[in-house]
Amino acid sequence: MTAQISERLIFEGQQVALLSNPLNDYFALGGINPGFESTSTALWRGYVGAWEISNDRLYLIGLRGTLESGDDASLESVFPGFKDRVFAHWFSGRMRIPQGKRLEYVHMGYASTYERDVLLTLQNGVVLTKEIRLNGVAEDDAPEGYSIGAMTTWPSRKAGGEE
């Protein structure tokens, strides 16, 4: 396993890393998955979603990735007719936003830990609560913000000329 590239979230006016995959829940509930191609061990899900919390509601406002067909993915690949914004009403649960310096790097999933986590609890796409979890104080030279250490990448099937 490799540490995974985060989702992106506009939260309280800032772009931050989101260490949760709300679109996975959409697919788990039966939403049609167009089939994303993974070209990196750091992105097994094959896409990066751009999210926004606006008026305490979670929206998906962008989607980047490559489909198994070789075409570029967009919001309309998953939500036809919605090219700019999708209300994530299917999502209930907790979302994690890391803050501060890194305490410990773990080369798996979103397992690395940071000085603080903002934990948002949502129900049907609406933010119910926000809490801040303090995890500790990092060393002075610890890196700031979410990042991943290493990955293996390979060309997309389309670029490689395979069918």
Partner 1 sequence: MIWLWVYLVAGMVYLVLIYGIHLRERQAYKNSELLKSMRGSLSTKDMLLEKVIAPAIGGTLVVLAWPAALVYSLKSKRDARLETKRREDAVFRVRAKDLLTQTTVHEVEAVAHIVDPMRAVPDLPFGHLNSVWQSFLNKRPLGAELWAFSCDHTSVWGHVTAREGYVWVLGDKRAPWMLTRETFKDRDDD
Contacts to partner 1 by CB under 8 A: 19-21, 24-26, 28-32, 54-55, 57, 59, 79, 81-82, 84-87, 89-90, 92-96, 109-110, 117, 119, 124
Nearer to partner 1, 108 or 159 (CB): 108
Residue with tokens 């939260």: 11
Nearer to partner 1, 67 or 95 (CB): 95
CB of 57 to partner 1, least distance (A): 7
- Return the number of other C-beta atoms located less than 10 Å from residue 162's C-beta: 9
CB of 92 to partner 1, least distance (A): 5
Residue with tokens 């036809």: 80
Between CA 38 and CA 47 the distance in angstroms is 8
Q: Tell me the three state secondary structure of residue 44.
A: coil
DSSP 71: P
Dig out the tokens for 130 from the structure.
């926000």
Nearer to partner 1, 109 or 155 (CB): 109
CB of 37 to partner 1, least distance (A): 21
